[in-house]
Amino acid sequence: MSNHPAPIATTTTASEYRPIAPSAAVAAEVAEILFKLKVVQFTPQKPIRLTSGRLSPVYIDCRMLISFPAERARIMSLMAAQVQETIGQANDVVIAGGETAGIPYAALIAAQLDQPMIYVRKQPKDFGKGKQIEGLLKSGQTAVLIEDLATDGGSKVNFLKAIRYGGGIVSDVFVIFYYNIFQSALGVMTQNRFNMHYLCSWADLLAYASREQLLPAEQLASVQRYLDAPDSWTA
């Protein structure tokens, strides 16, 4: 399955693929939850290497949310509303979770919307039937991909290719947190034909932190310098 054929065409034109922001009220509410649960971690002295390979003085650990039922339920409710608005009255839309962080959130969304679910491995299994997708994906079925977070969107491409190779039609990715700071992200979305729906971004987090005076001015300024030039930032 490593040699994927050309992705299945969709009805969306290239110019339409983009990040899709939440309302200001939703973004502020999610930012508050992320700070409250210490999902936001500032580590300027010990930079974190992101999935994209870039170094960052800040880290967002959205996996933490699975341990907090009330906050998890609220965020999943907000994401489910985004998914419902996107798919409308369509029936039999499969909710896909990306290995591993997206799987629990996809399960919660699928249950809330009463839709079928699959999950997608990063690579096909090297034993058994060698499957990359677990669950039933029907040919021509519409799918949406659920993940916890996205930096520039590049890590989602492998999942999207697997769904399309399996016969699914997918053009929408939903994440709790999207960095929304990398110039390359729009190109990734356009080239791979998907929209990035999110609940909160770095701009939303910094606006909330500044408004609530959660961080010293020096730390806020330090993070802002990173967000202004993330590709050239060094410790």
Q: Which residues contact 85 (CB under 8 A, 6 or more apart)?
A: none
Name the nearest CA neighbour of 212 among 25, 23, 31, 22: 31
Cis amide leading into 11 (omega within 30)? no
Per the CB < 8 A criterion, the answer to whether 56 and 226 are in contact is yes
> What pLDDT does 15 receive?
52
Tens digits of residue pLDDT in 100-138: 999 999 999 999 999 999 999 999 876 767 799 999 999
pLDDT for the residue 17: 95
**CATH code, residues 14-227:** 3.40.50.2020
Q: How many CB atoms lie within 10 A of CB 151?
A: 22
Smallest Cα–Cα separation from 117: which of 136, 131, 101, 139?
136
CA atoms within 13 A on the CB side of 9: 2
Q: Which residue has the tokens 């916890």?
A: 148
Task: Give the pLDDT score at 7.
Answer: 31
pLDDT value of position 128: 62
**Separation between Cα atoms, residue 64 and residue 83, nearest integer Å:** 22
* Positions in the chain whose pLDDT score sits under 50: 1-14
pLDDT of residue 216: 84
Q: How far apart are CA 87 and CA 91, in angstroms?
A: 9
> What pLDDT is recorded for position 84?
96
Q: pLDDT value at position 11? A: 38
Pair of tokens at residue 29: 């509410």
